Structure 1
């Protein structure tokens, strides 16, 4: 998967500025796909040059003009073509997993502290996801129906965080058994 496809999918929902897209990456989409502000703007420029998005300029008082991007017919076609393609299975590259794997070579307290640090981060992430879920559950039936597929990605994120926290507890128990 590439950033360009993520942007196309988001722009298919509604036109947005680069800033709006960046905020979207910091929120819901950011839980499973990350992109920096700079990467987003570089990709928007490339998508515009490819003819997959176009933009209109909005004048702002006391700020630079804002570009509002929207999909073109070619962009929508590229997005739907990509959505129909098989997705690669995700491979993990997680430094903490290597640290746990090699944890017998360091003091147990060091590994415990690192796992506990990650636990705090995952607990915060889970709390954010649960808050988003509460917003979804507060929507009326029609709104929920319109958001059912993004909700499934949210449910996956919640489940993944809960499973990760369960795994971390198992790690800490195993480390404590060996000390």
Structure 2
């Protein structure tokens, strides 16, 4: 099964949800590490139901509006927990357009190279501030068995990632501003030729 299916099973293992509720979780709680579009979630829900890993009940809201509330089955819980306990290898790093642009930034004037780095730094600083705001919602470290504790751990990881990225970008900007001798090396020197 694809990882998206396990993400859905994991959410439903916490509580029953509608498709809309699941979409909101991917936009909020899971957004730091996993993305899924509305158009991806519903086909997965259908497949999970066909495989007997989830079930749903149709509820009527108002006089006409129907909504499906999904919940995990015992088979779904077993499948999810097997995946949760399994060991996995570190995957190849995802594609990163900014780092690709930075790799070739020797073709830019120094000012443009610094601007490229500065723009990216500003975005990561905004993201870091948002994550610190999210962290401030926790009055204390949640109990280890609570779902909030796992959320807290992932949030700490996201803060660490963004802080590290900001530190690295500041170092890059400082090196460019100093006009380090390394920035004048041509591409063949970089490749050890």
Question: Same-fold call, TM > 0.5?
Answer: yes
Q: CA deviation at 1:45?
A: 1.3
User: Matched residues in 2 for 1:114 and 1:44: separation?
Assistant: 41
SS in 2 for 1:20: helix
Greater length-normalized contact order (CA 8 Å, ≥ 6 residues apart) = 1
Q: CA deviation at 1:176?
A: 1.9
User: Matched residues in 1 for 2:113 and 2:65: separation?
Assistant: 48
**What TM-score, normalized by structure 1, do the two folds share?**
0.88
What are the residue-to-residue correspondences of 1:110-149 with 2, within 5 Å? 110-136=112-138, 138=139, 144-145=142-143, 146=146, 147-149=148-150
User: Matched residues in 1 for 2:125 and 2:64: separation?
Assistant: 37
How many pairs does the alignment contain?
175
SS in 2 for 1:65: strand
- Residues 173/65 of structure 1: CA separation in 2 closer, same or farther (3 Å cut): same
User: Matched residues in 2 for 1:116 and 1:21: separation?
Assistant: 35
**What TM-score, normalized by structure 2, do the two folds share?**
0.82
User: Matched residues in 2 for 1:14 and 1:23: separation?
Assistant: 14
The question of whether the paired residues in 2 share the 8 Å contact of 1:99 and 1:111 is answered with no
Question: Which structure would you say has the larger Rg?
Answer: 2
SS in 1 for 2:31: helix
What are the residue-to-residue correspondences of 1:89-108 with 2, within 5 Å? 89-92=90-93, 93-108=95-110
- Residues 163/56 of structure 1: CA separation in 2 closer, same or farther (3 Å cut): same
User: Matched residues in 1 for 2:110 and 2:64: separation?
Assistant: 53
Q: CA deviation at 1:63?
A: 7.0
The question of whether the paired residues in 1 share the 8 Å contact of 2:106 and 2:113 is answered with no
- Residues 65/123 of structure 1: CA separation in 2 closer, same or farther (3 Å cut): farther
What are the residue-to-residue correspondences of 1:19-168 with 2, within 5 Å? 19-61=20-62, 64-92=65-93, 93-136=95-138, 138=139, 144-145=142-143, 146=146, 147-168=148-169
Stretches of structure 2 lacking an aligned partner (at least 5 in a row): 181-193
